[in-house]
Amino acid sequence: MKYRIDFAYNGKNFYGYAKQVGQPTVQETVERALSIIFDEDITIRASGRTDKGVHAIGQVATFVSEKEKDLGKLKKSLNSLLGDDIYILSIEIVPDDFDARFSAKKKRYFYEIIIGDRNPFENDFAIFEKNINFDKIVEICGVFVGKHCFKNFCSKEEDEDNFVREIYEITPKIFNERELKITFVGNGFMRYQIRKIVGTILEYQKGKITKEEILNYLNKEERDIISYTAEPQGLYLDKVFY
């Protein structure tokens, strides 16, 4: 049978989601706990990977086992083994053809940006900008909305879809005069794609790059990856839609 788990994690102490030899990762931590509970080797398949330092509020993964467990007890047992940085939100049985990655219709991420002085209590959960020009941020966000080839806004070396992704919306909002939240909704995002877009947005509103230059990076046929990349700790995987 196939189990679906929805879970959240603080990415601060992990070297990203995907397993890496000799490094603590979200995937390895969850798989180890499941393997103890089920007394067999368990491999999970997630909706996608997150980088080192990136957080998740609504990550989704599946795993397969012939052993049937009480879902309430399974959730409790998992959370008791996972420690403070990962929390299982829900567990359910899903059809065999459900795929955490390929069954997804869209994903929502957001970036937390604190306007003003750096606060040590927020260092691991946001990035900081002394000042922002909100009108310029709103203006340039629209450039990235729609279906584009993002080969110059990601670090992925090859892509079966020729680096084409569709972003349905990018919505910047300010809360409490000091918190800028930029929300992204799209059919999928490649490694560093959102981080490079946010880095470019922030440099644009400072006057470090022009709109024409950004459009040139989007329209270039040759590979010429933009250098701007926002720090990871402000990025959150918010929700996966199926």
Contact predicate 229/195, CB 8 Å: yes
Residue 51 among the catalytic residues = yes
Distance (Å, whole) CA 51 – CA 175 = 26
How far apart CA 220 and CA 114 sit, in angstroms, is: 33
The residue from 51, 84, 96, 224 that is catalytic is 51
Query: What is the rounded CA–CA span in Å between residue 125 and residue 55?
Result: 8
To which residue do tokens 């644009």 refer? Answer: 204
Q: Is-contact 113 128, C-beta < 8 A?
A: yes
User: Do the Cβ atoms of 48 and 107 come closer than 8 Å?
Assistant: yes
Q: What residues are annotated to the active site?
A: 51
